[in-house]
Amino acid sequence: MIEVKNLVKTYGDKRAVAGISFRANDGEILGFLGPNGAGKSTTMNILTGYLSSTSGEAYINGHDILEDPIAAKKEIGYLPEFPPLYLDMTVKEYLRFVYELRGCRLPRNTHLKEICELVKIDNVYNRRINNLSKGYKQRVGLAQALVGNPNVLILDEPTVGLDPKQIIEIRTLIKKLGKNHTVILSSHILSEVQAVCDRIVVINQGKIVADDTADNLSRELTADHKLIARIDGPKDEVIKLVETIPGVVSVVADMQREKGVWEYNIEAVEGTDIRRELNRRLMSRNWYILGLRSSELSLEDIFLKLTMGESVTEFLAGKADDLAEHYEEADKK
Amino acid sequence: MSAILKRETRAYFDSLIGYIFLTAFFAGSGVLFGVTSLQYGSTDMGGMYSGLFFILLVLIPILTMRTLSEEKRQKTDQLLLTAPISLSALVIGKFLAAMIIYSMGVAMTLVYAVVVSFYGAVSWLTVLGNVVGLLLLGAAYIAVGMLISSLTENQVIAAIGGFACMVALYLISSIAAIIPVRWIARIFSELSFSDRYSPFTYGVFDFSNVLFFISATVIFLFLTVRVLERRRWS
């Protein structure tokens, strides 16, 4: 279990981490989501005892990382942003070194063999790390974090530099490990965190802007009001027509997909479902919808939403008022 | 600590630095031995031991330049500093590894003594005193070099900085001579590495000098630990 209370880290007068508190329970995979420079790596470096916090507390399975660092560090396997590899060693030598460094008591050869099979580096076991590809280096870094079977795994962007097949393998592995470890992993890719994590902490400019289960967060963040529609009809008139649908905020023709068929990005006021109305109006003009899907919020949207929340909300609230007025008028008629 | 010691010792020979250091040490001590003992047919090896002082000025920085700077540059310090070991164990492990390589060089001077013993009586106690003195001097220098290495990410800067510091510690007694304030001059001359070392080469084994070098080693290693500790807070 990891418990963090009011963590602050300042570099000079810059606040890299500005009062973060969260908790990761046993058998939970916690995702740290945030753009580059949000404070993800700094927080992880504090949790693992590489950096000291300016103020605040961090407990790893009840051990304070500052007061009782050695006991706390024993519980942690850490894969930093750049895997800490000695390039002049072979994988075997390196893992044996880590094994000794961490003072492991497990039977050495079988333990290391298990780890290598788990992260699929057994075929490069005797090769020099310097000669390995980036994907293999990343996996050796992950193997290093697993040595000694620590209860807590802290993985800083574990899938960076891997090809799609390896990414899926590593994600599956992390999910498997998550069953009996506490895992914190960071990423700036939403889909990755969604795919792997039970809970997501969104962090921006050193602050937590959201902390929820992956399902809740994605429900909150999926956008039924944002549609991508492929419509067969004259472009300018379609735009004019769609704009008149109550609740629609903007319509942008994206590109021509087929002859006479354009793809439009339609955004409506949050919480409104304009799909039926859209259908009805287009049908009345004998234009056809050839494809309709809701656009997922991109990470940028989420940050916009979570961090610049106020200005966006104001804008949308204005649009919602318009909508209410529209319905009132319709009722009167 | 033993894991660090083992890895570091191996790394010296994987990276050629160990070979370069030992080759240069053997060559330097060999030449000194030839010039001071063999050429004069003397069994007194004090000349070689005092000459080695200058060789160490150049060679110890080479031995220590990588120790901590390279870890920082390669980001492997993240592995070491998040491992369940104390900073002191880390620093001492690295120090002992450098000492092992250094001792291999020092051991060579015993071979010269054996060579001399074929031609005349060798004062083994004096030789032993010299070896102890040389080891102590080297230990203090290695600690200085490690401190400098902990301050930078760049090996070359670590080497040159280490060299500069060692030269300064050597020249400190000359500087003392031109300082008009008596008590400052006194402090400076007391701190001189060369004034502390040369009695060993005359065959004088003074415990205060032994204590001086041990203290210097401990102080510089302690400072190295503090530098690493401080980096986490910065």
Predicted ipTM of the assembly: 0.90
Candidate from B82, B84, B234 with C-beta closest to A50: B82
Task: Indicate if the pLDDT at residue A214 is higher than 80.
Answer: no
Measured between CA atoms, how close is A102 to chain B, in angstroms? 6
Do residues B8 and B64 lie in contact, with contact meaning Cβ atoms separated by under 8 Å? no
Counting the structural domains of chain B, the total is 1
Residue A241, CA distances (Å) to A73, A270, A276, A277, B134 in order: 63, 20, 14, 11, 92
Phi, psi of A17 (to 5 degrees): -130, 125
* Of the candidates A205, A273, A173, A201, the residue with the CA atom closest to the CA atom of residue A32: A201
Inform me whether the C-beta atom of residue A102 falls under 8 Å from chain B C-beta atoms. yes
Q: Quick one: DSSP state of residue A90? A: B
Give me the half-sphere count of Cα atoms (radius 13 Å) on the Cβ side of residue B75: 9
Inform me whether the C-beta atom of residue B230 falls under 8 Å from chain A C-beta atoms. no
State how beta strands A248-258 and A261-268 pair. antiparallel
Task: Indicate if the pLDDT at residue A283 is higher than 70.
Answer: yes
Radius of gyration of chain A (CA): 25
pTM: 0.82
**A222-332 adopts what CATH topology?**
Alpha-Beta Plaits (3.30.70)
Nearest-by-CA chain B residue for A79: B79
Task: Indicate if the pLDDT at residue A316 is higher than 60.
Answer: no
C-alpha span between A315 and B7 (Å, rounded): 61
Task: Indicate if the pLDDT at residue A277 is higher than 60.
Answer: yes
Q: Which helix (H) or strand (E) holds A57?
A: strand A55-60
Measured between CA atoms, how close is A101 to chain B, in angstroms? 5
A232 bridge partner residues: A261, A288
Domain span at residue B112 reads 2-233
* Of the candidates B20, B96, B62, the residue with the CA atom closest to the CA atom of residue B166: B62
Inform me whether the C-beta atom of residue B115 falls under 8 Å from chain A C-beta atoms. no
Residue with tokens 């008139």: A237
Q: What pLDDT is recorded for position A243?
A: 87
Sheet holding A55-60, edge to edge: A14-24, A2-11, A55-60, A63-64
Give the angle subtended at the CA of A73 by the CAs of A70 and A79, to the nearest 5°.
150
A315 vs B95: which has the higher pLDDT = B95
Residues of chain A with CATH 3.30.70.1340: 222-332
Which amino acid type is present at position B180?
A: P
Candidate from A52, A78, A82 with C-beta closest to B82: A78
Domain A2-220 has CATH 2.40.50.140: no
Q: What is the mean pLDDT of residues A268-281?
A: 83
Q: What is the mean pLDDT of residues B62-78?
A: 92
Q: What pLDDT is recorded for position B208?
A: 92
C-alpha span between A277 and B47 (Å, rounded): 101
- Six-digit token string for A253: 């023709």
